[in-house]
Amino acid sequence: MVEAIVSFAVQRLGDAFIKEAVSLYGVCEQVQKLGNELRRMLCFLKDADSKEQQGDALVRNWILEIRDVAYDSEDVILKVMSRERGGIMNLLIKSACILNTGKHQYKVGKEIQSILGKLQNISDSRVKYDIKSIRDEETPSSVANQKLQQQLRRSYPHVEDEDVIRLEEHTSELIAELTKEEERRCVISIVGVGGLGKTTLAKTIYRQNIVKNHFQFCAWTFVSQRCSRKDILKEILKKASASSDELGKIENKNEEDLVQLLYKYLKDKRYLVVLHDIWSSEAWDILGPAFPNGVKGSKVLLTTRNKEVALHADPRSLHLEPRFLTDEESWGLLCKKAVLRTNTAETNISPGLQKIGREMVRKCGGLPLRVTVLGGLLTTKKTDITEWEIVQRNMNTHMNRGQNGVMEILSLSYNDLPYHLKPCFLYLGLFPEDCHIPARKMIQLWTAEGFMPQLNGYTMEDLGEQQYLAELIERCMVQVSKRSLTGRVKTCRLHDLMRDLCLLRAREENFLDIHHKEDAEPPTTHCKFRRLAMHKGEQGYTYLENSPHLRTLVYIPYQNSYLFYNVQLHHQNVKLLRVLDLRGVYDDTKGNITKQIGKLIHLRYLGLTNIQIGKISPTISNLRYLQTLDLSGYFGTVPETIQKMEQLRHLHLYYGHKHLQLGILINLQTLKWVTAGRWMIEGGLIKMTNLRKLGLCELLGSDLEEILDSIVHRLTDHNPLRSLYLHLNVLNQEFFPNMERLSQCDNLHKPSMSGFCQENYFKFPPNITKLTLAWTCFFQDPWADLQHLLNLKYLDMRSAYNGEELVCRAKGFPQLQHLHLKKLPHLKQFRVHKGGMPNLKHLEISNCSKLVMLPRGLKFVTTIQKLEINNMPSDFQARVSKKGPEWYKVRHISSITFKVEPETIIF
């Protein structure tokens, strides 16, 4: 990890803007010498790292000294930048004043000289510790960049779902217990050590059709070691709430009121509540009173590492302990992870390689997580004896050091990471336990931190997705939560044990820290941590103490809480920030917080989502290096000055802002949501050659004619725009104009249209994969054209059709996987001819009150896995239920769920 820290410091010292600033201070030679010394230290770090992994404490201290010097080097130079480029200062105008005084020049020079002295002492002690130079012919960063170029050309298989250890032998037993109709409320437990598969088993059971349909109410909530009864009760009640008003009322209840509210809601229902990862009997004691006996057959399902918790909660019910893998099962899993992915058949593995592999597997003790992570590590190695022997030796070293449980394998996997991936992995620790992390946001944060280089032919976002995140997944250090239709990662997560390792290493390196709402004191003054995440539930800190070293500050409310928290910020306390992400905060200082933010001139990422502040200060435009500005959920006016932020790559706004003139922001890749202005028509849109995602709202039909011409011009000119969202102003009864011109746009893959459409003037681009139609109110069947789109995989129709019948012909919708029919009030039937929709996996029907029956042809769609019937008449549900006349059409579907809007909670 220190190699990464030093490399980043060297890169920063060579930044063109920094060179410009330090030249005015007359310290160019000192800075150059500092960079050279740090670069020289890189040659020794590989040998030092090898000795440190063998348990050499003295070498460990030597490495930490280098880390601190690298941090200090970056700090002192960035302080120069902060002084010289604050606000809208001009370097050349200010330089004369600075050079005349000489005060700051002397101070900076003295600090650099002190750092150089520390480096000399570190270099002298190197000989004593017998640390040798391991030189690459090129710098580590250039070598890494060459490897990245090669690795970007290979793809990573998306087979993680196939790697889950099957737990069928426990599944039937658990389902039988959950669906047993006992008079009392039963608490069933899944018990076992971390990494055994408790979560996998619980999720598998929870998603089962037979389980979902047996209960009237189901909820899953995460408990963890930091059990907050109020937060957990609110999370369960949110599952039962139908409106935002109800959610707001829940937020303001005290604990006792929440217990009574949940108890009252559940007492007349057969319910299932899963309490995932509960650690103590005390946690059950404070949660248990909220769960009544309910209707006959109600259940609570616990997952826990502590059998005493299970016995305490309910000594009479099932306490299931998933078994460990046998040696043969472990070897089979390792082969799937490490061998079959390299296109080497298991039968072709040499006896010598198989011997080493089986020996390593035996040391995994039958724990699936150990085997999986070991397999992920081996995917990066050649399938030859020499490489596997090195892994085996390192594994033995870690295990001989006596690390506890599964952590030795996880540590081995972390130590094996190339230096550029270590900070990316540690950065994931900022997010809460069991959090599903948006991959796109994660990559934008990595980019803002400067973790990824510029490579010809690739954006930093592409590099982060196709290489950095992909390799962490390939190594089984990061789990995929959700993929898009095209296989791209939408959300990811860390296993709880992997997160434990992540936080352990991150804190050792002063890389990051987490501050929880339960912590008695605010973050320590002059804290050395470079990144800080504040995880809150009830109270927000009213101030942030002096934290001059911080690069990242993120504020994460518990479970997307609806409460707003007061945060006060002064730029002098956090003036080196590159990432600031504030969610759900309010500012009672009449906009002062954004004035302070406008002085944080190093910011690359600024998230102000769902905030309550009076206004955003025009000085926000001082953030000239800003790459991402997320103002989604901010209802106020955005100042026109943001057009000066020419480095912006991603701009997320709430609906409106027609006054903005954004044509100068030619680096934008994402622009959502903005009202179209004249600048789009007058050539501004054509200049945005990097734009990939565009969302326009409150459109007027008269403007859209010319805007469409600009869009079509862009899309037929080999540009990267793939996603287009067009929302008409339906309140003004606006209609989409002739949309046939969009049919020329071969590159457009994800259009979304919201607003009234004229019949016969709506043709669709040929290569679209995802289409959303809302409020289009077609009277003629749009499927007549849509079913011929050969690449369409996702179709969402909500209030999109006023006709009575939809028809899919044979061979229609050849690639469609997801079909959502919502709020089609006049639809009486839809037909699917045999051979239609041959790849459909998921069908949702919601609020189609006049629909009489499902199509007969559905029984021929053998690929369908999930059917959702939401808010449909009771007689319709009865027809497709197990004893209904239409059961034969859907009996082959593994998951069928019926949902109605939650009933109103009486407060």
Q: Which residues pair with 773 in a beta bridge?
A: 753, 797
- Predicted local distance difference test score (pLDDT) of residue 526: 45
In a domain, residue 592? The reply is yes
For residues 185 and 297, membership in a common domain is answered with yes
DSSP code string of 105-118: HHHHHHHHHHHHHH
- Predicted local distance difference test score (pLDDT) of residue 129: 72
For residues 307 and 331, membership in a common domain is answered with no
Residue at token pair 């040929």: 766
- Predicted local distance difference test score (pLDDT) of residue 83: 60
Classify strands 794-798 and 756-757 as parallel, antiparallel or unpaired.
Answer: unpaired
The structure tokens listed for 468 are: 């950095």
Q: Spell 286-316 as b/e; 16+ CB within 10 A means b.
A: bbbebbbebbebbbbbbbbeeeebbebbbee
In a domain, residue 51? The reply is yes
CB atoms within 10 A of CB 849: 13
CB atoms within 10 A of CB 667: 16
The structure tokens listed for 683 are: 């050539």
Task: Of 317, 265, 311, 316, give the one whose Cα is nearest residue 292.
Answer: 265
For residues 249 and 372, membership in a common domain is answered with no
In a domain, residue 507? The reply is no
In a domain, residue 714? The reply is no
3-class DSSP state of 6: helix
Distances (CA, A) of 219 to 240, 271, 292, 301, 659: 9, 8, 15, 10, 44
Split into its structural domains, the chain has a count of: 4
For residues 170 and 309, membership in a common domain is answered with yes
Fill in the DSSP letter of residue 644: G
* CA-atom Rg of the chain in angstroms: 30
Contact by Cβ (8 Å): 253, 197: no
Q: Which residues pair with 555 in a beta bridge?
A: 534, 582
Q: Which residues contact 812 (CB under 8 A, 6 or more apart)?
A: 783, 787, 788, 833, 836, 837
Half-sphere exposure of 817 (CA within 13 A, CB side): 7
The structure tokens listed for 783 are: 């499927």
The structure tokens listed for 584 are: 């759900």
In a domain, residue 245? The reply is yes
Q: Which residues contact 469 (CB under 8 A, 6 or more apart)?
A: 424, 439, 442, 443, 478, 489, 492
Q: With residue 86 as reference, give the H or E element that holds it.
A: none
For residues 230 and 309, membership in a common domain is answered with yes
For residues 607 and 553, membership in a common domain is answered with yes
* Domain, as residue range, for 229: 166-320
CATH classification at residue 300? 3.40.50.300
Q: With residue 402 as reference, give the H or E element that holds it.
A: none
- Predicted local distance difference test score (pLDDT) of residue 626: 97
In a domain, residue 529? The reply is yes
3-class DSSP state of 770: strand
For residues 113 and 222, membership in a common domain is answered with no
Determine the Cα–Cα distance for residues 572 and 510; give it in Å rounded to an integer: 21
pTM of the model: 0.88
The structure tokens listed for 667 are: 């680096």
CATH classification at residue 633? 3.80.10.10
Determine the Cα–Cα distance for residues 749 and 721; give it in Å rounded to an integer: 9
Q: With residue 53 as reference, give the H or E element that holds it.
A: helix 28-53
Task: Of 470, 484, 381, 477, give the one whose Cα is nearest residue 153.
Answer: 470
For residues 545 and 642, membership in a common domain is answered with yes
Determine the Cα–Cα distance for residues 410 and 430; give it in Å rounded to an integer: 19
Determine the Cα–Cα distance for residues 791 and 800; give it in Å rounded to an integer: 21
For residues 10 and 98, membership in a common domain is answered with yes
3-state secondary structure 320-366: ECCCCCCHHHHHHHHHHHHHHHHCCCHHHCCHHHHHHHHHHHHCCCC
The structure tokens listed for 786 are: 């849509």
Determine the Cα–Cα distance for residues 724 and 375; give it in Å rounded to an integer: 40
- Predicted local distance difference test score (pLDDT) of residue 314: 95
For residues 79 and 210, membership in a common domain is answered with no
Contact by Cβ (8 Å): 605, 446: no
Task: Of 636, 815, 748, give the one whose Cα is nearest residue 726.
Answer: 748
Task: Of 688, 147, 750, give the one whose Cα is nearest residue 463.
Answer: 147
In a domain, residue 755? The reply is no
- Domain end: 263, 289, 320, which one? 320
Residue at token pair 């004369």: 96
Chain centroid to Cα 350, Å, comes to 40
- Domain end: 398, 415, 432, which one? 415
Determine the Cα–Cα distance for residues 591 and 618; give it in Å rounded to an integer: 10
Q: Which residues of the chain have pLDDT under 70?
A: 14-27, 47, 50-56, 80-104, 133-166, 241-248, 339-348, 401-405, 517-527, 536-546, 558-568, 588-591, 656, 701, 714-719, 730-733, 758-762, 901-907
Determine the Cα–Cα distance for residues 224 and 798; give it in Å rounded to an integer: 38
3-state secondary structure 552-587: EEEEEEHHHCCCCEECCCCHHHCCCCCEEEEECEEC
Determine the Cα–Cα distance for residues 51 and 820; give it in Å rounded to an integer: 58
For residues 123 and 238, membership in a common domain is answered with no
- Domain end: 320, 345, 364, which one? 320
In a domain, residue 297? The reply is yes
Determine the Cα–Cα distance for residues 25 and 111; give it in Å rounded to an integer: 13
For residues 537 and 634, membership in a common domain is answered with yes
- Predicted local distance difference test score (pLDDT) of residue 408: 84
Classify strands 437-438 and 842-846 as parallel, antiparallel or unpaired.
Answer: unpaired
Q: Which residues contact 785 (CB under 8 A, 6 or more apart)?
A: 762, 763, 764
The model's pLDDT over 15-34, given as tens digits with 9 standing for 90+, comes to 655 665 556 556 677 878 88
